Structure formats: C-alpha cells, structure tokens
Amino acid sequence: MSRGKFYHPEIERMSRKALRDLQNRRLRWQVRRCLAKSEFYREKFKKAGIKASHIKTVDDLVHIPVVTKQELREEQVKHPPFGRYTVAPSKDWRELHPSTGTTGTPVNTIWSERDVENITEVTARTMWSFGVRPGDIIQNGFSYGLWVAGMSTHYAGERIGGLVIPIGASMTGRQVEYMLNPGSTVLLSTPSFALHIAENLRERGVSPEQLPLRLGCFGGEGGTETQATRRKIEEGLGIDAYDYYGLAEIGPTFASECTAKAGLHLAEDHYLIEILNPDTEERCAEGEMGVLVITHLSREATPMLRYWTNDYARLDTSRCSCGRTHGRAIGGILGRADDMVIYRGAKFYPVQVEKVVRSYREVGDEFLIELTRDESSYTDVCTVVCECLSADTDRASLEQRLRKDLREELLVTPEIRIEPFGTLERTTFKAKRILDKRPK
C-alpha cells in the first residue's frame, strides 16, 4: 500500500488533452469488457444499434443510452441476485453495498478487490485535497456497514496515516466527547448531523475554540454547497467546512472541494463526467446546468456506462487556483431531479429553501417543505416549516421577512409556519426535506 502524500500532480494537474487521451483509452477498455461479460450491456448496445468499435472516444459515448436507477432495480429483480451487469469474476468480489434507496428496493453494488483499492486511493486524494494529513485524528461520522461513505472514508483515513475514530452516524453526545478527548482534528459526516453536533456543543456550553477540530467534510445530502449552511457549520464547530459528493452506484466519495472551495473536483481519471440536458439528453455547454451522468473508467465489478445520477450540476474544466485540472461542479450539486417541487407553475429545490432559511440568525437549522391539498379549492399548498430559536422573536415580522426572501429565491410564495425550537425531527442520516401529504 502506498503511503505518504496523496497529491499526485502528474494525474491531478495533467493537461486536459492528456486527461482526455487517458479517458479515451480507459473508456475503450471498459466498453470492451462490459460487452464481453455483460448481457445487460450487450442488450443495451444491440437495441441502440451500436458496437464496441463505435466507441473510440469520449465523444462517441452519446450513442450509448443512459442507465437509470430504476433500470438497475428492474434488472436485479428480473435477474437475481445482481442483475447481468457484474463484469469482474465473482472470485474478485469483496464487498456488497446497496444504495440507500429512500424509494423502492435498494440496488446492490459490488466492489472488487481492485475497486476497493481505487476507491481508497481516490478518497484519500479528495481528503488530502481539503487538508487531511498524516497524524490527524479523524472522527468518521458517516454510517458504517452497508452504507458506502463510512467504509471508504475509513479506508482512506487510515491510508493517509490518520487515526480513525469509527464512530459512525450516531451517538451525538459521544461525538462531542471524542471532540474534546482525544480531540479529533477532522470531522466527516452529513451536514445535518454536523449542525446537530454543533447544537449539542452549544447546549453543553462548549465553545468551538475549546476543540482541536480543524476541518470537516460534509456530504451524503445537500447542505454544504449552500453558503448559509456552510457558515453555520463553520461557526458552530470552529472549522473550515468542505463539500463532498458521492453515490452508492457510482463511487462513495469521488468528488470534493479543495482548499480553494471553488466547486467539487471530480476525479476525472476514474470517473467520466457528462452534463446532459434533462429533457433532450443532449450534452450541455460548459457551465450550463444539467444532469450529471457518470461513466466508470476503472470500476471492475459493477461498472456503469452513462449512469443518470438525477443530480443537477454545472461543470467548469478551467484550471483551479489550486493547480488541479480535473473538472469542478461549480456550486456543488444544485438539486436532485426527484427533489424538485412544482408549485403554482414554478419549479424549485429544497436547497433553495435551505439557502434562505439558514441565512436567518433567529431561525433553527432544520426545515421542512410540506405539501398539502386544499380540498375546497382543489389546489396544492406548499408550506415551509422552520423553527424559531427564541420565544421572544416577533413571529409576525419574521414570517413576513421569510416570505419575502423565499419569494425572491423561489419565484413563488410558499406559506410559512414557525414552530418552537426542537419541534422538527433531527436525523443523524440523510435529512428528508419534503413531506408530501397530498392524497395520492
């Protein structure tokens, strides 16, 4: 196992031209092996009327139909247990991980031995890029076990040469105790759990200055890309906070900000990035918002060719001020296609509500978008529920200001409901921000 510095200028600063050459080579290898071993991909190619020889470069990718999560789910049901898209021989399989699957049965993903190695390498690289170093005490508040982020960051934290506290996404009180003793220097978790820990610190009267904690990275759900949320985490824990991205089917943790905080660097030597127009599936121009579609360039066991993530992003491939040339998702993940709220003709995402709510000092970090049906008028009602930190606040004025700021952000005016602090559910995992109570 390689140790030491996890910054590889020869890869992370390579010219876009050289990177594209590497991607083309790896893509041809991946397409060949997928077609040789996977009936799933063979069918897909046949249906589209294409052959392996048609895919010579990244530009030829557009001929391959995208893969959706629903398609993987159906494939696994029809061809149990893993569908017909496992490509590495089963003797090389090492770990099984399901998607967290908030809807439907989870999709099982497999990591081969080399996949574990590559995942560890890429994760160590992302962690290095935002400043994790040998000797750091890394409090790993991502869930362990079946969920992907806990394991990958655990492996990477050790690989970098840190001391990992494998605490997982629970036990807030104990999280705080470890921050005080032995005194973790790095925290990894979801942003909502980080806010929850910060809340616990405040309740105990522990000031962030008392903590050796230096930085944290937060992913698994939206939050860190929102400046207001990031500031709350940074002030609440007294740290630098970085945004982190991954998803079970693709890679647990293959994208993160560097210390420049200038967008999520995507590990483009292992993951080929496309941004597609959600309606036409055509490629977006650089900087244009669209759906992130990812192709595995090195994944062995369950490789994805053009996986439709359902996440919105804008790509920037200009060199970052840190010197890295791999593309960045500017502003992080900008929303999820299935998290979109359609309300009175306007479309918006929870992340936009978050941005507004968390810019208020007198309002708690939790919020909920409640959708109900007004049976008398047959119209939908969208209510933003949030918490008031103090009982002394003038609620009428607060409601008025929130309504105005939300209208500006969402281009539509939701109802506002302000509850006492502590009313909304706290979660240590992925916070659910939309509660749809409309009759089905």
Q: List residues binding a second copy (CB under 8 A).
A: 80-82, 90-91, 93-97, 108, 110, 113, 116, 134-135, 144-146, 150-151, 158, 161-168, 181-183
Minimum separation from the CB atom of position 81 to a second copy (A): 4
Core vs surface per residue 13-36: b (16+ CB within 10 A) or e: bbeeeebbeebbebbbebbebbbe
**Smallest distance, Å, CB 117 to a second copy?**
10
What DSSP string runs through 65-118? PPB-HHHHHHHHHHSTTTTT---S-GGGEEEEEE---SSSSPPEEEEEHHHHHH
Task: Provide, rounded to whole angstroms, the least separation between the CB of residue 165 and a second copy.
Answer: 5
Distance of CA 232 to the CA centre of its chain: 19
150 vs 251, beta carbon nearer a second copy = 150
Q: Which one, 167 or 241, has the nearer CB to a second copy?
A: 167
Q: Give the nearer residue to a second copy in terms of CB position, either 9 or 101.
A: 101
d(CA 352, CA 409): 7
Cβ atoms of 309 and 293 within 8 Å: the answer is yes
39 vs 282, which CB is nearer to a second copy?
A: 39
Residue with tokens 């806010």: 195
Is residue 64 within 8 A of residue 306, CB to CB? The reply is yes
Which of 21, 58, 19 lies closest to 319 in space, CA to CA?
Answer: 19
**Of the two residues 158 and 281, which places its CB atom closer to a second copy in the complex?**
158
Neighbours of 244 (CB within 10 A): 30
Among 309, 301, 299, smallest CA distance to 245 is for: 309
Give the DSSP H or E segment for 235: helix 227-237
Nearer to a second copy, 90 or 318 (CB): 90
Task: Please report how close the Cβ of residue 179 comes to a second copy at its closest, in angstroms.
Answer: 11
Q: What is the smallest separation between the CB atom of 174 and a second copy, expressed in angstroms? A: 8
Residue number with CB closer to a second copy (85 or 93): 93
Tokens of 224: 């860190």
Q: Name which of 180 and 411 has its Cβ closer to a second copy.
A: 180
Smallest separation (angstroms) from a second copy to the CB of 182: 4
- We find the least distance from the C-beta atom of residue 181 to a second copy, in angstroms, to be 5
Least spacing, CB of residue 75 vs a second copy, in Å: 14
Do residues 56 and 26 lie in contact, with contact meaning Cβ atoms separated by under 8 Å?
Answer: no
Amino acid of residue 394: D
Question: Counting Cβ atoms within 10 Å, is residue 160 exposed (0-12), middle (13-18) or buried (19+)?
Answer: buried
